[in-house]
Structure formats: structure tokens, C-alpha cells
Amino acid sequence: MMKLLSIVVSAYNEEAGINEFYRVTREYAKYLRDKNWDYEFIFVNDGSKDATGEILLELSEKDPEHVKFISFSRNFGHEAAMIAGLDYAEGDGMVFMDADLQHPPENLEKIIDAFDSGFKVVSMVRTRNETAGIIKKITSGGFYWFINKVSDIYLEPNASDFFAITRSVQDILKKNYREKVRFLRGYVQNVGFRKTTIEYEAAPRVAGSSHYSIKKLFTFAMNTIMCFSNVPLKLGIFAGFFSGFLGMVLLIYTLCTHDGAPSGYATIVVLLCFMFAVLFIVIGIIGEYIAVLFEELKDRPLYIIEDMKNFDKENGLS
Ligand code: UDP
Ligand code: MG
């Protein structure tokens, strides 16, 4: 019996490089047959505005045995696209890849080797990122330092959205991790099971440009912190203690240095500003968490599927 590897690929405005991705990746995937693994592509078109959808549809018609196609009704983001792939992949193992060849497909062989030797989670760790600028490197370093300080889980700093899991892990992620505000890569690293990491060098994009703006990355960082940590919520308590302590010190100082004279205007203003700053920051943080709660409460679908090709049962649920 051949085993099946599902290659989940999310694509948003990738018309320039998607054919090349398919061609190159398929070449590597074909060789997996020698090791008793067949392959299927699950392409998720994340509401592309260019011809990506048409190209993928065409591929699914030309190669129906190996290409499955899901198309969203609009852009739902990379996370949602990966979740859709997770929901519909039928392989014994599945690997998540970007459509721009930044995740080198020559690693597929190492991944199935890891599966065959009993690993259930394969986390691909970037050793070098040609395309990332110095600012992205610093902010990303800072982000991982922070999240690992404030949360009780560990996030691999150089892990990417390039990872592979077996069907048993898929089941758990499908059933038990349905939060709306989420970070799939983080869950994958923290479900447990036998896990290994494989290093890879990130290649430059084959065509087009990155879709992650600073704003998107910031939202992403905020969401991740709130997904995995409640420490910011407790900041209010620390801030309260700190302000109280400061007040005491100032009180003692005033009592000792002045004999009740109404001076110290600056002290009052500074203290007032400081207190209000703390108060507003804490309220802001609570607001952010309430926003997350609200998002979960609304229970909107993570994605909406408009079209599917080459699946057994075709429905658009999420
Ligand atoms: N992507 C997506 N939806 C989006 C943005 C990106 O499906 O809203 C896909 C994109 O097509 C690519 C992958 O996610 O396959 C990674 O995106 P990108 O290469 O722009 O990010 P970077 O590699 O620069 O972090
Ligand atoms: Mg990329």
C-alpha cells in the first residue's frame, strides 16, 4: 500500500510563479514514489485578484489525480488558507508550503523520511533568509524573545509556515484548535508527539513580492501574543503596585522636605500624567483581549469556499 502525502499550498496573487512552483515541486514529489509515498497537491486560492485561480483550476483539470483545488470567496489570509488545507487533506502525512518556492521542495524527501522513522511533527527551521531585511530580522527576533518570555509554550524563533504533520496530529488540530484568532504554526509546535526539526535555507521568491506588510505583521504579532499569553492582562496589577509604590515614595519625600508648603506643581503634573498613561495602557490591553473574545463569540467561519475541484465530497463548510 502506497502512503499519501498531501502538499498544502496557499496562494494569493501568485500568477507569476505558481506554474513554476507546480512544475518544480512535482518533479521532487514524483521521486517520493520510490519510497512508497504518493502525493497530492491541495492548492488553496485565497481570493486572488489576478489569474492565480484560473491557473490553478486549469492545473486541476489537467492533472486531476494529483491536484485538488479550493477557492475562497475572498481573501481570508494565509492562516485561513492553511486551515482549509488542514481540513481537507486526506493524506497520511501533510506538508504546508508557500507558493513562491521559498520553501525548497527538495526537503520533501527528508520530510517523508522523518515520517517513516516515526516522527509525527516535522518543523522546518530556516537557517538563512536571503530576502529578510535587517528591520524584519530585529523585529522578528524581538517578537520571539517576548512571546517566549510571557507565554508558557515555546515558539521556535526560526520556524516557518513550512511544516509537516501526520494524520493523527491533523485530527487533533482539526477538532480541538478552532479558535478564530489563531496561529497554526504555534499549535503545531505545541501539540506534543514525537517531533523533529529539519533545517533549510529559505530561497528568494520565484516571482512577485511578499504580501506581508508591516501592519499585517504587527496584527499577527499581537494576535499571537494574545493567543498564547495572559501576562499582558496582569500588567495592570504590576502597574498598580508600581504606581502605589511611587506615590508612597513621593509622599514620604514631600513630608520630609517641605513643611506643608503648597509647592511641587511639577511633581503633581508628572505623577498625574504617569498614572493616566498606565491606566490607559492597561485599559487598552484589556480592550484587545475583549476584541479577541468578541471575535470568538461571533463564531464567524474561518473561511468561505466558493469552488472545489477533485474532492470526493464537495462542500463549502469551515
Ligand atoms: N498568502 C495567502 N494569503 C494572503 C497572503 C499570502 O495565501 O493573504 C500566501 C502567499 O501566496 C504565499 C504564502 O502565503 O504562498 C506566504 O506569503 P508571502 O510569500 O507573501 O510571505 P513571506 O514569505 O514574505 O513571509
Ligand atoms: Mg514568501
Q: What number is the average pLDDT over the span 195-205?
A: 82
CA nearest ligand 1 atom 14, residue: 78
For the CA atoms of the chain, what is the radius of gyration? 25
Ligand 1, closest atom to CA 97? Answer: 15
Q: Please state, in angstroms and rounded to a whole number, the distance separating the CA atoms of residues 68 and 58.
A: 11
151-168: pLDDT as tens digits: 877 887 777 788 999 999
Residue 312 has pLDDT above 70, yes or no: yes
pLDDT tier, 59 (very low <50, low <70, confident <90, very high otherwise): very high
Percent of the chain with pLDDT over 70: 95
CA max distance for the chain: 91
Cβ < 6 A, ligand 1 pocket: 10-12, 14, 46, 75, 77-78, 81, 98-100, 102, 210-212
Distance CA 6, CA 316 (A): 19
**Residue 300: pLDDT band with limits 50, 70, 90:** confident
- Beta-carbon-side half-sphere exposure of residue 212 (alpha carbons within 13 Å): 12
Pick the CATH number of 3-211 from 3.40.50.620, 3.90.550.10, 3.30.1330.10, 1.10.8.80: 3.90.550.10
Q: In the predicted model, is pLDDT for residue 207 greater than 80? A: no
Given a contact cutoff of 8 angstroms between Cβ atoms, the answer to whether 168 and 93 are in contact is no
- Residue 19: its pLDDT value, please? 92
Pocket test for ligand 1, best of 10, 44, 74, 161 (most atoms within 8 A of CB): 10
Of the ranges 9-18, 80-89, 210-219, which one carries the lowest mean pLDDT score? 210-219
Question: Hey, whose CA ends up nearest to atom 21 of ligand 1?
Answer: 210
Cα–Cα distance for residue pair 16/86, rounded to 1 Å: 25
Helix (H/G/I), strand (E/B), else coil: 94 = strand
By alpha-carbon position, which residue is closest to atom 2 of ligand 1? Answer: 78
* Mean pLDDT of the residues in the chain: 84
Calculated CA dihedral for residues 155, 157, 160, 166, nearest 10 degrees: -40
Pocket test for ligand 1, best of 7, 9, 12, 128 (most atoms within 8 A of CB): 12
More confidently predicted of 129 and 192: 192
Confidence (pLDDT) at 313: 64
pLDDT of residue 132: 65
Q: What is the pTM of this model?
A: 0.77
Q: pLDDT > 90: what percent of the chain? A: 33
- Which numbered atom of ligand 1 lies nearest the CA of 13? 11
Domain parsing of the chain, residue ranges = 3-211, 231-298
For residue 71, the one-letter residue type is: S
Give the model's pLDDT for residue 108. Answer: 92
Average pLDDT over residues 214-233: 80
How would residue 129 be classed by pLDDT, with cut points 50, 70 and 90? low
- Ligand 2 ion: nearby residues, β-carbon < 5 Å: 98, 100, 102
Q: Residue 314's pLDDT is what?
A: 58
Distance 262 CA to ligand 2 centre (A): 63
Mutate to test the pocket of ligand 1, among 45, 49, 211, 215 (most ligand atoms within 8 A of CB): 211
pLDDT top residue among 28 and 252? 28
Q: How far is the CA of 210 from the centre of ligand 2 (A)?
A: 6
pLDDT digits (tens, 9 = 90+) for 236-288: 788 888 888 888 887 788 778 766 556 677 778 778 877 888 888 888 888 88
